[in-house]
Amino acid sequence: MQWSTTRFQIDLSAPRVMGIVNVTPDSFSDGGRHADAPAALRHCERLLKEGADILDIGGESTRPGSPPVPLAEELARVLPVLREAVRLGVPVSVDTYKPGVMQAALDLGADIVNDVWALRQPGAAEAVARHGACGVCLMHMHGDPRTMQSAPMAGDAVPQVLLFLEQSAQNLRRLEVEKTRIVLDPGIGFGKTVAQNFALLARQDELLAAGYPLLAGWSRKSSIGAALQGDAPVPPAAAERVAGSVAAALMAVERGARIVRVHDVRDTVQALAVWRQVRAQARR
Ligand code: HH2
- Tens digits of per-residue pLDDT, 228-248? 999 999 999 999 999 999 999
- Compute and round to an integer the Cα radius of gyration of the chain: 17
pLDDT at 133: 97
Nearest atom, ligand 1, residue 217 CA: 10
- Residues in a beta bridge with 261: 18
Run of H or E residues at 136 = strand 135-139
pLDDT at 125: 98
**Ligand 1 centre distance from Cα of residue 270 (Å):** 22
**Mean pLDDT for all residues in the chain:** 96
Q: Which active-site residues does the annotation give?
A: 221, 261
Q: Give domain limits for the chain.
A: 2-283
pLDDT at 186: 98
Q: How confident is the model at residue 274 (pLDDT cuts 50, 70, 90)?
A: very high
Tell me, rounded to whole angstroms, the distance of Cα 277 from its chain centroid.
26
Q: Are 177 and 126 in contact (CB under 8 A)?
A: no
- Look at the domain 2-283 and name its fold: TIM Barrel (3.20.20)
pTM of the predicted model as reported, rounded to 2 decimal places: 0.97
Examine the pLDDT at 187 and tell me if it is beyond 90.
Answer: yes
Q: How far is CA 147 from CA 96, 237, 242, in A?
A: 18, 22, 26
Mean pLDDT of 169-183: 98
Would the CB of 204 count as within 6 Å of ligand 1?
no
**Ligand 1 centre distance from Cα of residue 67 (Å):** 15
pLDDT at 145: 82
Nearest atom, ligand 1, residue 24 CA: 22
Ranking 9-13, 18-22, 66-70, 278-282 by mean pLDDT, the lowest is: 66-70
pLDDT at 209: 97
Q: Are 21 and 93 in contact (CB under 8 A)?
A: no
Would the CB of 114 count as within 6 Å of ligand 1?
yes
Q: What is the rounded CA–CA span in Å between residue 68 and residue 70? A: 7
Q: Which residues of 219-244 are buried (b: 16+ CB within 10 A; e: fewer)?
A: bbbbbbbebeeeeeeebbebeebbeb
Q: Are 235 and 222 in contact (CB under 8 A)?
A: yes
pLDDT at 151: 84
Examine the pLDDT at 63 and tell me if it is beyond 90.
Answer: no
**Ligand 1 centre distance from Cα of residue 160 (Å):** 20
Would the CB of 252 count as within 6 Å of ligand 1?
no
Q: Are 34 and 19 in contact (CB under 8 A)?
A: no
Examine the pLDDT at 65 and tell me if it is beyond 80.
Answer: no
Q: How confident is the model over 76-99, as pLDDT tens digits? A: 999 999 999 999 999 999 999 999
Q: How confident is the model over 122-150, as pLDDT tens digits? A: 999 999 999 999 999 999 999 888 877 78
Would the CB of 62 count as within 6 Å of ligand 1?
yes
pLDDT at 64: 80
Would the CB of 28 count as within 6 Å of ligand 1?
yes
Q: How confident is the model over 100-121, as pLDDT tens digits? A: 999 999 999 999 999 999 999 9
Examine the pLDDT at 34 and tell me if it is beyond 90.
Answer: no
Would the CB of 112 count as within 6 Å of ligand 1?
no
**Ligand 1 centre distance from Cα of residue 253 (Å):** 18
pLDDT at 66: 80
